[in-house]
Amino acid sequence: MTDETLVTYEMRGNVALIGLNRAAKRNAISDRVVEAISQAVTRASSQAKAGVLHGHGAHFCAGLDLAEHAQKPLIDAVKGSRRWHAVFDQIERGTIPFVAAISGAAVGGGFELAAAAQVRVADGTAFFALPEGQRGIFVGGGGSVRIARLIGAARMGDMMLTGRVLTAAEMERWGGVSYVADTALERAVEIAAQMATNAEFTNYAIINALPRIADMSSEDGLFTESMVSSLASMTDDAQVRLQDFLEKRSARVKDPNAGEKA
Ligand code: 1HE
């Protein structure tokens, strides 16, 4: 099997769809899958304005390929985990925003992959678990940082200690997904297409400045925010878009309650 078939790549308008394609193994992530994700993300970063991560078949991703992992010497396990970190970092702090479309299992490393995207959409078939405790291993794909920040370290610890499995609705209440939709992939593509219409510099700043500012002291964060916002205002894109608004050529923010007002 070539790496192109382990992970599919499709352009839809200016959105890149990156699909894990090992349905027979529930899209478990082997070393080669990690490299195929990296290649696809690199390609999307130069060709697309937003990306969608999804899984072919019924499941998003069953996590680390346990068959491959069981054979690994300690040093290869460390190198493997560090490679996951580097590749998932390309998604979390790259150049374009990503939406994870979650159907079926988002388990272990699958949830870690979803946590690297900027936005997560799940449908009614989705379920979330961190069964590392039962497998005698630990998260190694960045979950102890990303998932802990997303849902809180206490909830993540609960998932890992008890092995509990959460539905999409439960994970939405915990803040681990932002949207629950009828069809995760369709909704994710819509959201990505919307993001793709934003100013490129602003998207870049959202992706790269927000997580860094979250790691800073308030004082450093506020200073960095002033620098980034001033830079954004200097772009040609900002000048054009601000004029468009002032001269009533662009859409206003839509009031979701407008229909109820009589
Ligand atoms: C796998 C994997 C895998 C399935 N590595 N081969 N992840 C887990 O502990 C989750 C393990 N998987 C499952 O619990 C279930 O497979 C699912 C709930 C996701 C799906 O269940 P089901 O009934 O649809 O499929 P299945 O029959 O369990 O699996 C189908 C095949 O996929 C089967 O192989 P086959 O050769 O017998 O057909 C499974 O062995 C294979 N398969 N999941 C390898 N994960 C960077 S650190 C991250 C740490 C973690 O990710 S820990 C969590 C690992």
Considering Cα of 54, then 56, then 57, then 59, what sign does the dihedral take? negative
Which of 195, 220, 238 lies at the terminal end of a domain, its last residue? 195
Catalytic residue among 132, 170, 200, 219: 132
Collect the ranges in the chain with pLDDT lower than 70.
1-4, 260-262
Quote the ligand 1 centre to 67 CA distance (angstroms). 9
Residue whose CA is at the smallest distance from ligand 1 atom 39: 25
Residues with CB under 6 A from ligand 1: 25-26, 28, 59, 62-67, 81, 84, 105, 107-109, 131-132, 135, 137, 139-141
The range of the structural domain enclosing residue 37 comes to 7-195
CATH of residue 213's domain is: 1.10.12.10
Asked, for residue 259, whether it belongs to a domain, the answer is no
Q: pLDDT per residue over 90-107, tens digit each? A: 999 999 999 999 999 999
pTM: predicted TM-score of the whole model, two decimal places: 0.96
Looking at the fold, whether 31 and 132 belong to one and the same domain comes out as yes
Q: Best of 26, 59, 107, 112 to mutate for ligand 1, by most ligand atoms within 8 A of CB? A: 26
Quote the ligand 1 centre to 65 CA distance (angstroms). 8
Asked, for residue 255, whether it belongs to a domain, the answer is no
Looking at the fold, whether 132 and 105 belong to one and the same domain comes out as yes
Looking at the fold, whether 27 and 135 belong to one and the same domain comes out as yes
- Catalytic residue status for 170: no
What SS3 state is found at 36?
helix
Quote the ligand 1 centre to 120 CA distance (angstroms). 21
- Written as six digits, the tokens of 224 are 């960095």
**219 to 143, 144, 209, 216, 226: CA distances (angstroms):** 27, 26, 15, 8, 11
- Written as six digits, the tokens of 203 are 């998207």
Q: Quick one: pLDDT at residue 259?
A: 80
Q: Quick one: pLDDT at residue 142?
A: 98
Beta-sheet strand order (sheet of 119-123):
7-12, 15-20, 50-55, 98-102, 119-123, 179-181
Q: Quick one: pLDDT at residue 4?
A: 55
Residue whose CA is at the smallest distance from ligand 1 atom 30: 25
Element (H, E) at 68: helix 66-69
Q: Quick one: pLDDT at residue 73?
A: 95
Looking at the fold, whether 227 and 107 belong to one and the same domain comes out as no
Q: CB atoms < 10 A from the CB of 57, how many? A: 16
Looking at the fold, whether 204 and 166 belong to one and the same domain comes out as no
- Catalytic residue status for 172: no
